[in-house]
Amino acid sequence: MTTTNSNVAGRALVVGGYGAVGSVVTRTLTEWFPGRVVPSGRDEARARRLGGVCVDVGDLAGFRQVLDELGDVSVVALCVEPEDAQLARICLERGIHLVDVGATHQLLEEVTSLHEPAAGAGATAVLSVGVAPGLTNLLARRVNDAVGGAERIDLTVLLGAGERHGTDAVRWTVAGLGKPATARARRVPLPGFGVRTAHPFPFSDQYTLRRTLGVPEVTTRLCLDSRPLTASLFALRRAGLLRGVHGARQQRLLTSLFSRVHLGGDGFAVRADAYRGERHATLSLTGKGQSRATGLVAAHVIRTLFTQNVPVGVHHLDQLTALADLPEQLAAHGITAAG
- 259 binding ligand NAP? (CB under 6 A): no
Which is nearer to ligand NAP, 19 or 267 (by Cβ)? 19
Which is nearer to ligand NAP, 21 or 326 (by Cβ)? 21
Figure out which of the listed residues 169, 233, 281, 310 binds ligand NAP, where binding follows CB under 6 A: 169
- 290 binding ligand NAP? (CB under 6 A): yes
Q: How far apart are CA 339 and CA 337, in angstroms?
A: 7
Piece of the chain touching ligand NAP by CB under 6 A; list 1-9, 55-63, 110-118, 269-277: 55-63
DSSP helix/strand/coil, 330: helix
Which is nearer to ligand NAP, 78 or 147 (by Cβ)? 78
Figure out which of the listed residues 27, 74, 91, 133 binds ligand NAP, where binding follows CB under 6 A: 133
Figure out which of the listed residues 127, 131, 158, 285 binds ligand NAP, where binding follows CB under 6 A: 131
Figure out which of the listed residues 163, 168, 225, 318 binds ligand NAP, where binding follows CB under 6 A: 168
- 267 binding ligand NAP? (CB under 6 A): no
Figure out which of the listed residues 14, 19, 28, 209 binds ligand NAP, where binding follows CB under 6 A: 19
Piece of the chain touching ligand NAP by CB under 6 A; list 40-48, 114-122, 144-152, 264-272: 40-48
What are the beta bridge partners of residue 216? none
φ, ψ (nearest 5 deg) of residue 275:
-130, 135
63 CB-near residues (< 8 Å, 6+ apart): 55, 56, 57, 87, 90
Q: In this structure, are residues 3 and 310 in contact, taking their beta carbons and an 8 Å threshold?
A: yes
- 202 binding ligand NAP? (CB under 6 A): no
H or E segment to which residue 185 belongs: none
Figure out which of the listed residues 4, 8, 12, 22 binds ligand NAP, where binding follows CB under 6 A: 22
- 299 binding ligand NAP? (CB under 6 A): no
Piece of the chain touching ligand NAP by CB under 6 A; list 5-13, 56-64, 239-247, 330-338: 56-64
Figure out which of the listed residues 14, 15, 108, 118 binds ligand NAP, where binding follows CB under 6 A: 15
β 194-200/313-316 pair status: unpaired
Region for 289 from its dihedrals, namely left if φ exceeds 0, alpha if ψ lies in -120 to 50, beta otherwise: left
Residues 12/128/132/216 CA torsion (nearest 10 deg)? 180
Stretch 170-189: interaction string toward ligand NAP, x if CB under 6 A: --x-----------------
Which is nearer to ligand NAP, 163 or 273 (by Cβ)? 163
Find the radius of gyration of the CA atoms of the chain: 19
* Amino acid identity, position 263: L
- 102 binding ligand NAP? (CB under 6 A): yes
Q: How far apart are CA 79 and CA 291, in angstroms?
A: 10
- 160 binding ligand NAP? (CB under 6 A): no
257 CB-near residues (< 8 Å, 6+ apart): none
206 CB-near residues (< 8 Å, 6+ apart): 155, 218, 219, 220
Piece of the chain touching ligand NAP by CB under 6 A; list 3-11, 119-127, 128-136, 262-270: 128-136
Piece of the chain touching ligand NAP by CB under 6 A; list 141-149, 178-186, 226-234, 287-295: 287-295
37 CB-near residues (< 8 Å, 6+ apart): 11, 12, 14, 17, 26, 29, 30
* Amino acid identity, position 201: F
- 291 binding ligand NAP? (CB under 6 A): yes
Q: What share of the chain is helix, strand, coil (3-state, %, to 5)?
A: 40, 25, 35
- 79 binding ligand NAP? (CB under 6 A): yes
Footprint of ligand NAP on this chain (CB under 6 A)? 15-16, 18-22, 41-43, 55-58, 79-81, 101-103, 130-134, 165-169, 172, 290-291, 294
